[in-house]
Amino acid sequence: MLLALFTTFFKIGLFTIGGGYAMIPLIEREVVERKGWISKEEFLNLMAIAQSAPGVFAVNISIFIGYRMRKTVGSIFCATGTVLPSIIIILAIAMFAGNYRENPVVENVFKGIRPAVIALILTPTIRLASGAGFDHWTWLAALVVAMLIWRVGISPIWIIFVTIVCAVLFYIIKFRRE
């Protein structure tokens, strides 16, 4: 099990190109669909948690899944698996290939990858929302949040924070009535 956690996250870390969000389609595929380690709903919960905690989003996700499977030892294996490919590759570049960035073929490869990676993030977004049984109101709420971040430029952390406060207040009021 520990080895499976390590190799799965090593593979995910190896193909996470262009920041933490690029990891989401890979986790959805490997951890949610193929291995069934966590459910779609749990994955959505987990993303809110990983985003509100400090540090690297992708590493936070792997720590949580590791903990969920095999407590602290599991999270150490998952986190190590996630970061090891980057550490090896960056070290190789820092030591042997200083001019990697100026290589035109490398730049061309990334011209192809970048637009595809954006689409790869869109797919699990829609799939996770449908899997969590979204109705018209939840879709509308998601749309408003997307606009607040995209157009108004509010940080997702603030929106998460305000939502938690509102949800707690709502719960207290409802609980008192009952």
Partner 1 sequence: MGAALIWFKLFWSFFKIGLFGFGGGYGMISLIQNEVVEKQAWISNSEFTDIVAVSQMTPGPIGINSATYVGFKAIENAGMTRTQAVLGSLLASFSVMLPSFIIMLLISAFFMRYQNHPSVRTVLAWLRPVVVGMLAAAVLLLLNEENLGSFKTDKLQFYVSIALFASAFAVTYVWRVNPIKVILLSGLFGGLFYSLLPA
Binding positions for partner 1, 147-166, rule CB under 8 A: 147-150, 155-157, 159-160, 163-164, 166
Q: What's the angle, vertex CA 44, arms to CA 41 and CA 47, rounded to 5?
A: 150
CB of 3 to partner 1, least distance (A): 20
Do residues 40 and 140 make contact, with C-beta atoms less than 8 angstroms apart? Answer: no
CB of 15 to partner 1, least distance (A): 5
Of the two residues 1 and 166, which places its CB atom closer to partner 1 in the complex? Answer: 166
Do residues 73 and 80 make contact, with C-beta atoms less than 8 angstroms apart? Answer: no
CB of 158 to partner 1, least distance (A): 10
> How many of the chain's residues bind partner 1 (CB under 8 A)?
103
CB of 162 to partner 1, least distance (A): 9
Q: Which residues from 17-36 bind partner 1, rule CB under 8 A?
A: 17-21, 23-26, 29
* CA-to-CA separations, 174 to 13, 162, 169, 177, 178, in angstroms, rounded: 43, 18, 9, 5, 6
CB of 164 to partner 1, least distance (A): 6
Q: Rule CB under 8 A: say whether 39 interacts with partner 1.
A: no
Q: Rule CB under 8 A: say whether 10 interacts with partner 1.
A: no
Q: Rule CB under 8 A: say whether 123 interacts with partner 1.
A: yes
Q: Which residues from 61-80 bind partner 1, rule CB under 8 A?
A: 63-64, 67-68, 72, 75, 79
Q: Rule CB under 8 A: say whether 95 interacts with partner 1.
A: yes
Query: Cα torsion for 80, 155, 164, 64, to the nearest 10°?
Result: -10
List of residues 6+ apart from 124 with CB closer than 8 A: 24, 25, 28
Nearest alpha carbon to residue 23 among 34, 41, 8, 36: 8
